[in-house]
Structure 1
Amino acid sequence: MKKLFVYFLGIFFVFGSCEDRKKTTESETEMRIKTEAITPENKASQSEATVTLGSTFDKITNENVVPFLTKYGKNNPETKVLISTRFGDIEIELYKDTPLHRANFIYLVKQGYFNETFFHRVVPDFIVQAGNSDLASTQKKRAELGNGYLLPAEIVPGRVHEYGTVSGAKEYRENPDNKSAPYEFFIFLGPKSSTTHLNGKYTIFGRVIKGMDVVEKISKVEADSGDWPLNNIYITARVLE
């Protein structure tokens, strides 16, 4: 009887140890799969629609902004962008004679920055402004791309704000160098009589060639006292050509 007990006890330990090894192996395999899923080698197999901000380029700073965008602009000569909203689409043509602003805009579009930002300021018969949001994701994107740079002014003599022109916004109005905040832009709707404080001070780097009816609709939505729409107007952007 004693020998039989020892025999069954031995079988228990053998099978018990096998089960432990099986669980260990499964755990190791699961951890290995999770680890492999985030290695640089496997990033290439992700969907092309998924953009990892800052994964290819260095952050833009005030020190490297000109050479960075000059080089990027030469390799990315596109001039047309489509902005989509729930009100419809807006097609923008970018000017080649404002090369830094054009390259910056194309760069941000291709990096997916504008997706899930808003038209966050609307002033009827004047402007609509886009490129910001109150989402944490927007600030995260800015931190990854370069949170502290400004665009040097590219003000073309004789070019004035007209119906449908697209301009770079400013981080602050008292800006003697007229540098543009890189992440925000505005589309002008107002009469020329209201451009005195804009002309020669804000870089005009494009114009709306299709969809001003959409811009008009956006400009008339209900907003708070700070011109922020009461219902967020999300945008997405893609390069056309």
Structure 2
Amino acid sequence: MMIRKIAFLTIILILFILGCKQENDKKTSEEPLKEIIQDSSKTAKAIPEVNEVIAEEFKLNEENSIQFFFDYQKGLKENKVKLTTSMGSFTVQLYDNVPYHKANFIYLTRKGYFDGTQFHRIVKDFIIQGGNADDDETADKRRKLGRYLLPPDTRKGYKHHRGTLSMPSSEINNPHKLASPYEFFIVVTKPGSYHLDGGFTPFGKVIEGMDVVDKINKVQVGKGDWPSKNVYIEKAEVIQ
């Protein structure tokens, strides 16, 4: 009887010891798991939001340019631009009732497009033409801004008087005389070059610094009417 009792107590003791060991093993195995979950949470907070959307860079094209400039010109009160060149500065005033061309010129000015471009075509006693350059930077600017043309707006009664700011037509297949938006020309002929009326769009005039325009028109030119020495537009800025 005594032997059975001792055997029974021994079994109970063994079961108790095994139970304690299993409980300790369970706690030991859970602690690393808990630490891993916490670390993962910390790491997750350090990772940027994956749903952040990078806005696609806006570019003008044949489909969106007219609507864009229609909206852009609404409430556009500024109508003067000062162009500082390597030969001096002059100021142009843009016509409010030629809205697309005015808006285009203001937009490109604010985008810094004209800065660093040149008066690349100079015809004696006729015009100076600017807005282009023979460098990669100007081409890159055009690619970023977009490829588009502007419709002519020749029925507002403006003529190509001396000092008139007007738009050249694109050289691309262009029977409708669509304007090249990145370039402009200024008439220096006295009293004007009226044979241009109806074919090109006057959209402003020089109101200050016409003497600088005349000085640019007198520089020596080479083949293709390109100046022998580059004449730069160093800065174009919208002014009140």
> Which residue type is aligned with residue 127 of structure 1?
I
Contact 1:151 1:181 in 2 (8 A): yes
Q: Give the equivalent residue in structure 2 for 1:106.
A: 106
Q: Give the equivalent residue in structure 1 for 2:93.
A: 93
> Which residue type is aligned with residue 101 of structure 2?
H
Distance in 2 of aligned mates of 1:225 and 1:164: 25
Residues 207, 57 of structure 1: alpha-carbon distance in 2 compared, 3 angstrom cutoff: farther
> Which residue type is aligned with residue 107 of structure 2?
Y
**Aligned-residue offset at 1:175:** 3.4
**Aligned-residue offset at 1:144:** 0.1
Q: Give the equivalent residue in structure 2 for 1:211.
A: 209
Distance in 1 of aligned mates of 2:180 and 2:115: 18
Residues 125, 142 of structure 1: alpha-carbon distance in 2 compared, 3 angstrom cutoff: same
**Aligned-residue offset at 1:183:** 0.1
Distance in 1 of aligned mates of 2:205 and 2:192: 19
1:74 partner SS: coil
Contact 1:155 1:202 in 2 (8 A): yes
Work out which of the residue numbers 212, 219, 222 in structure 2 matches 1:221.
Answer: 219
Contact 1:118 1:130 in 2 (8 A): yes
- 1:184-223 Cα offsets, whole Å, 9 max, x none, are 0000011457431x11010000000001100000001011
Distance in 2 of aligned mates of 1:113 and 1:215: 20
**Aligned-residue offset at 1:58:** 1.8
1:142 aligns with 2:142: yes
- Equivalence map 1:1-241=2 (5 Å): 58-146=58-146, 148-172=147-171, 175-191=174-190, 194-196=193-195, 198-235=196-233, 236-241=235-240
Contact 1:161 1:192 in 2 (8 A): no
1:90 partner SS: strand
> Which residue type is aligned with residue 200 of structure 1?
G
Contact 2:160 2:192 in 1 (8 A): no
Which runs of 5 or more residues in structure 2 are unaligned?
Answer: 1-52
**Aligned-residue offset at 1:176:** 2.9
Contact 2:160 2:187 in 1 (8 A): yes
* % same residue: 45
152-161 vs 216-225, which moves further: 152-161
Which 4+ stretches in 1 moved above 6 angstroms?
Answer: none
- 1:107-138 Cα offsets, whole Å, 9 max, x none, are 00000000000011111210000000001000
- 1:44-93 Cα offsets, whole Å, 9 max, x none, are xxxxxxxxxxx996211111111101111125431000000122111000
Residues 206, 226 of structure 1: alpha-carbon distance in 2 compared, 3 angstrom cutoff: same
Using structure 1 for the length normalisation, give the TM-score: 0.73
**Aligned-residue offset at 1:169:** 1.2
Residues 60, 110 of structure 1: alpha-carbon distance in 2 compared, 3 angstrom cutoff: same
> Which residue type is aligned with residue 215 of structure 2?
K
State the number of aligned residues. Answer: 187
Which runs of 5 or more residues in structure 1 are unaligned?
Answer: 1-39, 42-54
Residues 79, 157 of structure 1: alpha-carbon distance in 2 compared, 3 angstrom cutoff: closer
- 1:143-183 Cα offsets, whole Å, 9 max, x none, are 0000x200011113432100100001112287332211000
Residues 63, 92 of structure 1: alpha-carbon distance in 2 compared, 3 angstrom cutoff: same
RMSD: 2.1
Contact 2:132 2:183 in 1 (8 A): yes
Distance in 2 of aligned mates of 1:165 and 1:57: 34
Distance in 2 of aligned mates of 1:85 and 1:173: 28
Using structure 2 for the length normalisation, give the TM-score: 0.73
> Which residue type is aligned with residue 206 of structure 1?
G
